[in-house]
Amino acid sequence: MAERLEQLVDKLAAEHTLTDGEYRDLIAGRTPELAERLAERAVAAREPIYGTKVFTRGLVEISNYCKNDCLYCGIRRSNKNVERYRLDPDTIVACAREGYELGFRTIVLQGGEDGHFTDEVLGDIVVRIKETCPDTAVTLSMGERSRESYQRLFDAGADRYLLRHETASPEHYAQLHPAEMSWEHRMQCLRDLREIGYQVGAGFMVGAPYQTVEHLVREMRFVEDFKPDMCGIGPFIPHHDTPFANEPQGTLELTLYLLSMIRLIHPSVLLPATTALGTIDERGREKGMLAGANVVMPNLSPVAVRKQYELYDNKICTGEESAQCRGCLGLRMTLIGYELAIDRGDIRK
């Protein structure tokens, strides 16, 4: 049995695909030994493409207003205990410029679905960041919008879009979201974004409520079929003011295992060791790299609002300045033999 699963790891490394049954067995049969084998193969697969260079994305959390009500998310509209904020354009551009000076060559603007950020308002901010920060990619992560809107923002200069699909299984999506949100629409957004020409990031939470091994098989299949340029996966962490307050959080071990599998399925993928991973384990992001990740996304938001952009409990780095965050991560990476790159960090195809 153990031997058969070891062979599946080697098969995944060689062929970048498994059958549904094989994915199921490999996930369900997870052991520390298999995790180690997967991580070793994942690092070896990343090595010729990215080596030990870690790409950085500076995250500016521009608004915590949101019209959606995702059951897992701390800034869902039903949460009346959140103090809402939105950053003004000057502040956003200043955060981006500060990031640029610290060595970031990708700026991510993320927020709730806030009607204030029309195509005009957001497009102007994109234009200003592109003017202020030479050779820098701008990534948007502002949720579901119309195809026309995505097109206008792309025309304004946005390079990439991050929209986690959240789950590759429609019935699981319905358990995590209110009835007015649709899995089909979210998937359509991802297809639109790709057709327009964005580099596209997708992703899902590990250990989300109701998630089964069968769902994870579908996640692996999704990565194989859609081949997102980036795939953000991190543990689900409950937020105290949501319906999922008492659900267990996702585990470090399963997250690392899936990171390694995704690297083997899609060797050139941009794979972040997420802030959520750093939240559940003090060395989570370092362990992510050693499992095959190659991206980190530290916070560039003004310290004054960091605690208010609370998607889950105990988020790290909410009291630190941006420079400290980059310095701390740089040191962490050096200590494991990796180094932060000053680079846009495009996918190498």
Closest CA to 87 of 40, 37, 121, 51: 121
Q: Are 58 and 102 in contact (CB under 8 A)?
A: yes
| Residues 16-75 within binding reach of ligand SAH (CB under 6 A) | 72-73
| 311 is a site residue for ligand SAH (CB under 6 A) | yes
3-class DSSP assignment, residue 277: helix
Q: Which of 46, 105, 145, 164 binds ligand SAH (CB under 6 A)?
A: 164
What is the rounded (10 degree) CA torsion for 339, 249, 109, 258? 50
| 239 is a site residue for ligand SAH (CB under 6 A) | yes
Q: Are 336 and 283 in contact (CB under 8 A)?
A: no
Compute the least distance from the CB of residue 114 to ligand SAH, in Å. 9
Angstrom distances, CA of residue 297 to CA of 133, 200, 331: 18, 16, 15
| 237 is a site residue for ligand SAH (CB under 6 A) | yes
Q: Which of 143, 201, 278, 284 binds ligand SAH (CB under 6 A)?
A: 143
Compute the least distance from the CB of residue 68 to ligand SAH, in Å. 7
> Closer CB to ligand SAH, residue 13 or residue 126?
126
Q: Which of 43, 276, 297, 316 binds ligand SAH (CB under 6 A)?
A: 276
| 113 is a site residue for ligand SAH (CB under 6 A) | yes
> Closer CB to ligand SAH, residue 62 or residue 261?
62
Size of site (CB under 6 A) for ligand SAH: 18
From 24-32, 119-127, 129-137, 161-169, span contacting ligand SAH (CB under 6 A): 161-169
Residues β-bridged to residue 206: 235
Compute the least distance from the CB of residue 312 to ligand SAH, in Å. 4
**Residue that the structure tokens 């992560």 belong to:** 141
> Closer CB to ligand SAH, residue 7 or residue 78?
78
What gap in Å lies between CA 223 and CA 48, rounded to an integer?
21
**Which helix H or strand E contains 235, and what residues bound it?**
strand 230-235
Sorted by sequence, the CB contacts under 8 Å of residue 129 that are 6+ apart come out as 92, 93, 96, 107, 136, 138
Strand order in the sheet with 295-296: 295-296, 53-56, 339-340
Compute the least distance from the CB of residue 206 to ligand SAH, in Å. 9
User: Taken in order 302, 303, 307, 311, is the CA torsion positive or negative?
Assistant: positive
Which DSSP string do the residues of 207-224 spell out, in sequence order? Answer: T-TT--HHHHHHHHHHHH
Compute the least distance from the CB of residue 19 to ligand SAH, in Å. 28
> Closer CB to ligand SAH, residue 136 or residue 141?
141
Q: Which of 38, 125, 163, 187 binds ligand SAH (CB under 6 A)?
A: 163
The token pair at 164 is: 């986690």
Compute the least distance from the CB of residue 305 to ligand SAH, in Å. 15
> Closer CB to ligand SAH, residue 82 or residue 276?
276
Q: Which of 112, 123, 292, 298 binds ligand SAH (CB under 6 A)?
A: 112
Interacting residues toward ligand SAH by CB under 6 A: 72-73, 110, 112-113, 141, 143, 163-164, 166, 205, 234, 236-237, 239, 276, 311-312
